[in-house]
Amino acid sequence: MLEKLKQIKERYDTMMAALSDPGAFQDQDKFKTLSRERKHLEPIVQAYEKYARLVAHIADDEAVLRGNDDELKELVKEELDTLRTEREEMEEDIKFLLIPPDPNDDKNTIVEIRAGTGGDEAALFAADLYRMYTRYAERQNWKMEDLSASFMGGGGVKEITFQIRGESAYGQLKYESGVHRVQRVPATESSGRIHTSAATVAVLPEAEKVDVEINESDLRIDTYRASGAGGQHVNKTDSAIRVTHIPSGLVVACQDERSQHKNKEKALKILYSRLLQHTIDEQNAAVAAVRRSQVSTGDRSAKIRTYNFPQMRVTDHRINYTSHQLQAIMDGDLYDMIEQLKLADNVEKLKNI
């Protein structure tokens, strides 16, 4: 381990020298890449320096034990036990630091929520999930922007797509992809019978043009008249946009803006992110053929979590983690849940290091 950490320290020193070069700012793409790498390597280098000092201290004490000073030997024996235990604990911590980072974790994210089985109750639950992620974004000081939405009567959401911009937004939320199930008594249920409904969540890394290459000839762009609320505007303006990526068959429609240009911009943003996620899903499938991941971030058909209102509990089925803080979670307090998912994912990844 020490030798591997030395190599990382050498890489870190080389990278810091490159960043301190006045010409580094001229190539912004390279500068951003080096800055992201520094962010990942810095805690590893700090841990290495502390670990190296500890290893040197243990070596000095072991040298004393091989010497002739009996009084000094007695002093270091007890200290050695403590230092060796500390070394084992530090080695475990360093293993987690050595897990290669997901290059998409630092990206902004696009989240899509759709009502599933359960009719009006599913739409109300989809609205609750939207509120949950809105509150979580507020806690993280992230910025949110709705990209497209389709609402139902009574405050329900048929489907909604929104962008979240902030530090490590995708890395924090990527484990939310999947089917979310709710068990509760709907407001419209007079007999008090518990209903089970569901909504699907898809979390996509926001793609930049360098991440996904799209040929203009592969796109079919249709304009049509917006529908829904909007008064005279929706009756007279063909501002809605439908973008079809012909090779993949992916279709994105956007009609929320009055401007055709803005609708096209939002639709393309969603399309780029869906295509990037498609690539990631293919890579995950290839890895899963060799190693079945305990925490899946790609399979949106899998039931990942149940929100049981009568028992005030939330259970994540991927890691068998249950919290009885349902109200706090629905109010955006997702920190513990996400940290448990990260930990389970990292434990699984450690098996391949």
CATH topology of domain 2-97: Methane Monooxygenase Hydroxylase; Chain G, domain 1 (1.20.58)
Residue 295 has pLDDT above 70, yes or no: no
The percent of residues in the chain predicted with pLDDT above 70, rounded, is 88
* Residue 186 vs residues 155, 194, 197, 315, 326: alpha-carbon distances, Å: 13, 7, 10, 20, 17
Would you list the domain boundaries of the chain? 2-97, 109-206+298-350, 216-283
pLDDT digits (tens, 9 = 90+) for 2-41: 788 888 888 888 888 888 887 777 777 777 778 878 888 8
**Cβ proximity of 142 and 90 under 8 Å:** no
Name the residue among 107, 108, 100, 109 with its Cα closest to residue 37: 100
pLDDT of residue 289: 47
pLDDT of residue 290: 37
pTM of the predicted protein model: 0.70
How many residues would you count in the chain?
353
What CATH number belongs to 109-206+298-350?
Answer: 3.30.70.1660
pLDDT digits (tens, 9 = 90+) for 221-231: 888 766 654 44
**Local confidence band at 291 (pLDDT 50, 70, 90 cut-offs):** very low
Separation between Cα atoms, residue 93 and residue 345, nearest integer Å: 15
| Torsion angle of the four alpha carbons 129, 134, 135, 137, in this order, in degrees rounded to the nearest 10 | 130
What is the token pair recorded at 123? 């739409």
Element at 178 (helix H, strand E): strand 178-184
Which of 67-76, 120-129, 199-208, 278-287: highest mean pLDDT? 120-129
Q: Which residues pair with 199 in a beta bridge?
A: 115, 180
**Cβ proximity of 314 and 322 under 8 Å:** yes
Separation between Cα atoms, residue 11 and residue 17, nearest integer Å: 10
3 state DSSP class of 346: helix
What is the token pair recorded at 25? 């700012």
* Residue 115 vs residues 10, 132, 151, 264: alpha-carbon distances, Å: 51, 15, 10, 25
**Local confidence band at 71 (pLDDT 50, 70, 90 cut-offs):** confident
Separation between Cα atoms, residue 184 and residue 146, nearest integer Å: 28
Element at 183 (helix H, strand E): strand 178-184
DSSP 293: -
Residues 108-138 as b or e (16 or more Cβ within 10 Å = b): bbbbbbbbbebebbbbbbbbbbbebbbbbbe
Residue 172 has pLDDT above 50, yes or no: yes
**Cβ proximity of 170 and 206 under 8 Å:** yes
Separation between Cα atoms, residue 275 and residue 282, nearest integer Å: 11
pLDDT of residue 95: 87
The architecture (CATH level 2) of 216-283 comes to 2-Layer Sandwich (3.30)
